Amino acid sequence: MPIIEPEVTIDIADKAEAEDLLRAEISKQLDALPDGQQVMLKLTLPEKPNQYKSLVDHPGVMRVVALSGGYDRTEANRRLCENAGIIASFSRALTQGLSAQQSDEDFDKTLSETIDSIFDASCAG
């Protein structure tokens, strides 16, 4: 399964416009895929809710997963909730709050709470 990961930097001034261009170009390429061919897309959480809904619904897309892109977990979860059909593929947001200095109990508790919050945000969209 090809995985396409065009990350948009979260702090650029024209992020919403960049995402419009990205969606249009990805759509063009998806429309050119042979019948039955699918890809997975890993995309930075967008500025506009459901910006990538047409990609989520495209027959050439197996799954769209969201990159936290550098947003903290709270902001990443908020944005994820706004995007139907997209699930999390967070790494930076997943590890937020975890430390080698934590006790095993605190580490496990923080990780469990983090996973639950990301799962809930994935299901809310």
Domains of the chain, CATH where assigned: 3-124 (3.20.20.70)
First-last CA distance in the chain: 24
The predicted-structure confidence for 25-53, as pLDDT tens digits, reads as follows 999 999 999 999 999 999 999 999 999 99
48 among known catalytic residues: no
Of 7, 17, 25, 42, which residue is the catalytic one? 42
Taking the whole predicted model, whether its pTM rises above 0.85 is answered as no
From CA 49, how far away is CA 83, in angstroms rounded?
6
Dihedral of alpha carbons 125, 40, 55, 37, sign: negative
Active-site residue flag, 5: yes
Band of the pLDDT at 121, cuts 50, 70, 90? confident
The residues near 20 (Cβ < 8 Å, ≥ 6 apart) are 51
pLDDT at position 125 over 60: no
Backbone torsions φ then ψ of 53, nearest 5 degrees: -60, -40
Cα 14 to Cα 31: distance, rounded to the nearest angstrom: 26
